[in-house]
Structure 1
Amino acid sequence: MPDWVDHAIWWHAYPLGFTGAPVDGPDPDPGVRHRLGRLTEWLDYVVELGCNGLLLGPVFASQTHGYDTLDHLAIDPRLGDDADWDALVAAARERGVRLVLDGVFNHVGRGHPRVRAALAAGPGTEAGRWVKWVGDGDAAVPAVFEGHDQLVVLDHDQPEVARHVADVMSHWLARGADGWRLDAAYAVPPEFWQSVLPEVRAQHPQAWVLGEMIHGDYAEYVTQSGIDSVTQYELWKAIWSSLADRNFFELAWALDRHRAFLEVFLPQTFVGNHDVTRIADQVGDVRHVTHALAVLMFVAGTPSVYAGDEQGFRGVKEERFGGDDAIRPEFPPGPHGLAPEGWALYREHQRLIGFRRRHPWLVRAAGRTLEVANERLVLESSAPDGSERLVLVLNLADEPFTPQGPVGERVLRSGDLDVAEGAPGSAPPHAWAVFRGSAG
């Protein structure tokens, strides 16, 4: 995996929603709309937050929400054109910001030219080989993704499909992307990537490839596919669920699995993204929002912050048409348009991301759980060279919490910059604290 990934902290944005592009069909104003540049206006904000990467949702020509691709080699006209992409790349490079694109390679939109040709020609034909079919003879119909009639599944056994995906990935890496998020990787046979990635890596050895894994055997998929990392949904679920239910035993169990994954790959960690209810809604008690972030910035992995979570955005995902709209809102033209009440949480994010930056060894530190109860958790990490030991204490209870063993000097705590407040070695009610001691 590229060395630069160990220092990457991502700001994850969904460009179509972020820029206010219509997502239920074509833009009512025909032609190219140059919305992609609105992301450029947020790059300084991203850097000041402490992030150095943009993890982007779909930017390619599509029918509606971006995951029904029509042309992998064209910027969605609702967002702009090649010149808009080049401008974003240039602005990101000036600030040292990496860019990762969302590659939807499991399926395409029913209006994709290859699908239209396949439907016209039928299964068993040269054109028909591009898509996966269900049934035989005249009863055969294209396979669709998770029941979505407009998302037609590609046939990943076909060399033509592998050739196309490799060409697309290499094309945009040459145009300034630093890596790819593989949408719905869990639905793609891992062997497919063994036929695609060697050529891509030969041309772009510093590219990072992240697979979306909602379920399945993470380590096995990484090993069989050759990708670099997968989305750590197990840890995401355990973080918010433990906070909402006040049951840190779930998080402790998930962290044991997380440490095992580290022996095989470096997971991509998060507490929010474009597909899930906002963390401010998930945890229930708003006093515990930054507990989630404290875990994210303390445990190993490549972390990302979903755009708006750092401002306390709210939004509940619903299983209906338009059910993602609340979690994919339009942003103002620039940070100056944000509501004033969100900046306190932004500063908390800055402090925790800054803490992560000052201790870069945390990215691969497996650590261990020292103490666990329903409302209290104590985690430890030590630097590989033995020079430093850090302890994170999480407290969801109404009373202060002092761990059983020595934790050292408090260096950071939630809410209050005065780290000396409270009893030595304790975390106040509904708070978290980080301590530093000798590695021993």
Structure 2
Amino acid sequence: TVLQAYFEIHVPSPTRLQFSLSGAPSTVELRGEIDDWATGRQLTLVLNDVSGATFASDLDLPPGVYAYKLRVDRTWLLDPGNPRTRSMGENRNNVLVVDGTPEPLLFAPGLPFLARHLLGGHVLTALLRKGHGESLRVVWSEGREDTQALTPMIRAGEEREHLVFRLHLPTSTAGATFRFLLDNQTLVGQATDSLPFSIPKGSDPLPLWWQNAVIYTVFVDRFRPAEDHPSWTQDPGPDRPAGGHLDGVTRSMGHLTDLGVTVLHLTPVHRAMSCHRYDVIDPMEVDPSLGGEAALKRLLVAAHDRGLRVLLDFSLLHAGEGFPAYEAVRRDGPDSPFASWFQWREKRGRRVLKHYGGRRDAPLLDLGNPEVQELVVRTARVWTERGIDGFRLDAVAQVPIALGKRVRDALRDHVPDGVVYGEVVPEHAWRWHEAGVVDVATDFSFQGVMTAFVAERSIDARVAADRLATSVHTGGLPGARAVRFLSTHDHNRFATLCSVRGDPNRTALGMLLLAAAPGTPMLVYGEELGLAADVAG
């Protein structure tokens, strides 16, 4: 029979979210900005009787506006028990507002709605449901009644259901408070009693060395050998080692500093199965083929002598052949004491390992396993003790938030001004920043707009500007916390796309826009030379 579900959402405690359903669904998932749209979380059946079933999940959420949907037996459903929705493009989702405003406003005192401005004060972003006025003002005070001010917000955009307003609030004290004033003179504050919001008294500012950072990503195996030789120019082919070396990076420090690079990001240098080294064998050993620990030490000394900071790619999502726990499972199967270290699935009545992508030799680690988590944290400590300045945390959305926070804590324990740069593919990067997992994060929306506007010419300037403006209030991080780029080491280079889809001269325009855009620019090795492939993969 067709499932006719009726949902009632309520929060009986600060951490429990419950959904009451009529019918008898077998699986119910909560997906969206609470975790990730791609994976989500399985809800637990807590009550099942003649009236229906109740599913629940315990949550630990900081203040925010969380878009979500329910996936019931593989069918996406809106929650009709929660009238609060937000539409982005063609997608309409429910929203859960934690410690924020009631209707008709969407606002909560956290990113991306409340952000510290680099030059002082804070930037407020609020969404007003259409049909409830055409303007929005902020009533705010520095902590005393005689300092109260009324400031109009600026109309910054429009969504299908909401008008978007923004204001740089020039607060100078930590005790500042504010509420919103609608056209009908209604004051809107926190929750239904409209209490004033307070500017957070403390924050976690970015280290000064990051404020004007320029990142340069080096795929170590493909960058430069320990000593130059004629055969280096020959492409060994996909996934075949080229022979790059950490000493080759060290020999290039002069070029990087002349280029204006301040942060060097290295792809994984631990011992692994492949030349890209994301399929780990020993996460704590510097690969001898890259020069081992001595070569890494030389690189760090040379970089720090020139004022460069070094971020190391940190990835323990999947293993490769030679990883001891994987070898034990290959030998003993699901009965191995290490079986719980990995993810499994059912295939034709038996359990088989899940692997990364389409591979059969790259088992996915179960990052929820306590022993795996301890390995991850211990690995983070080992690398911080070697003198690095931070991590690039790979595929952040696939890392449990609590574990990601432990990795960042391990870094900060040893490197107080260290930075975790997160590869966050979902648009709601604020989720991982607010949870204390990352300090800065990738902005893939910028790359998408630049590819469409400059390389492909599939959109015009107005559409490009609208998409960039939208990305600011949909979840990207503000200012220097947003890492913007044209290329990554995982995708086709921007220069390649310009060449095969139109005009190679467009590459320079893209680089100009990257340099002029707010945020932290990131280059992939060779981009400064216009390095490109003959065909796009």
Q: Same fold (TM over 0.5)?
A: yes
Letter in 2 for 1:253: D
For residues 74 and 231 of structure 1, what CA distance do their matches in structure 2 show?
A: 27
Letter in 2 for 1:68: D
Residue-by-residue CA offset, 1:100-128 (whole Å, 9 max, x unaligned)? 11112211213311211234344475422
Letter in 1 for 2:212: H
For residues 265 and 153 of structure 1, what CA distance do their matches in structure 2 show?
A: 33
Residues 225 and 146 of structure 1: is their aligned pair in 2 closer, same or farther, counting only changes over 3 Å?
farther
**Greater strand share, 1 or 2?**
2
Letter in 2 for 1:50: G
TM-fit CA distance, 1:277: 1.8
Structure 1 equivalent of residue 107 of structure 2: none
With the length of structure 1 as denominator, give the TM-score of the two structures: 0.65
TM-fit CA distance, 1:316: 5.8
For residues 359 and 288 of structure 2, what CA distance do their matches in structure 1 show?
A: 24
Residues 257 and 64 of structure 1: is their aligned pair in 2 closer, same or farther, counting only changes over 3 Å?
same
For residues 208 and 36 of structure 1, what CA distance do their matches in structure 2 show?
A: 22
Structure 1 equivalent of residue 313 of structure 2: 102
Structure 2 equivalent of residue 247 of structure 1: 460
SS in 2 for 1:305: strand
TM-fit CA distance, 1:288: 2.4
Structure 2 equivalent of residue 270 of structure 1: 485
Structure 1 equivalent of residue 115 of structure 2: none
Larger CA deviation: 170-179 vs 130-139: 130-139
SS in 1 for 2:387: coil
Unaligned runs of 5+ in 1: 320-440
TM-fit CA distance, 1:204: 2.5
Structure 1 equivalent of residue 76 of structure 2: none
Q: 1:49 aligns with which of 242, 259, 262?
A: 259
User: Which residues in structure 2 correspond to 1:7-406 (within 5 Å)?
Assistant: 7-19=212-224, 35-65=245-275, 66-123=277-334, 126-135=337-346, 139-224=350-435, 226-243=437-454, 244-245=456-457, 247-260=460-473, 261-263=476-478, 266-283=481-498, 284-315=502-533
TM-fit CA distance, 1:11: 1.4
For residues 479 and 252 of structure 2, what CA distance do their matches in structure 1 show?
A: 35
TM-fit CA distance, 1:219: 2.1
With the length of structure 2 as denominator, give the TM-score of the two structures: 0.54
Residues 276 and 316 of structure 1 are in contact (CA less than 8 Å); yes or no, is this contact kept in structure 2? no
For residues 430 and 332 of structure 2, what CA distance do their matches in structure 1 show?
A: 40
The Cα RMSD (Å) is: 2.8
| Higher Cα Rg, which structure | 2
TM-fit CA distance, 1:46: 0.4
Residues 427 and 443 of structure 2 are in contact (CA less than 8 Å); yes or no, is this contact kept in structure 1? no
Residues 173 and 207 of structure 1 are in contact (CA less than 8 Å); yes or no, is this contact kept in structure 2? no
TM-fit CA distance, 1:77: 2.3
Residue-by-residue CA offset, 1:54-111 (whole Å, 9 max, x unaligned)? 1111211111131111111112222111111111111111111111111122112133
Residues 112 and 9 of structure 1: is their aligned pair in 2 closer, same or farther, counting only changes over 3 Å?
same
Letter in 2 for 1:48: D
For residues 513 and 479 of structure 2, what CA distance do their matches in structure 1 show?
A: 21
TM-fit CA distance, 1:317: 7.0
Residues 72 and 168 of structure 1 are in contact (CA less than 8 Å); yes or no, is this contact kept in structure 2? yes
Higher relative CO (CA 8 A, sep ≥ 6), structure 1 or 2? 1
Residues 151 and 223 of structure 1: is their aligned pair in 2 closer, same or farther, counting only changes over 3 Å?
farther
Letter in 2 for 1:173: T
SS in 2 for 1:235: helix
TM-fit CA distance, 1:161: 1.5
Residues 48 and 4 of structure 1: is their aligned pair in 2 closer, same or farther, counting only changes over 3 Å?
same
SS in 2 for 1:4: helix
SS in 1 for 2:290: coil
TM-fit CA distance, 1:43: 0.5
Structure 2 equivalent of residue 349 of structure 1: none
For residues 134 and 73 of structure 1, what CA distance do their matches in structure 2 show?
A: 29
Residues 222 and 265 of structure 1 are in contact (CA less than 8 Å); yes or no, is this contact kept in structure 2? no
Residue-by-residue CA offset, 1:319-353 (whole Å, 9 max, x unaligned)? 5xxxxxxxxxxxxxxxxxxxxxxxxxxxxxxxxxx
Residues 241 and 282 of structure 1 are in contact (CA less than 8 Å); yes or no, is this contact kept in structure 2? no
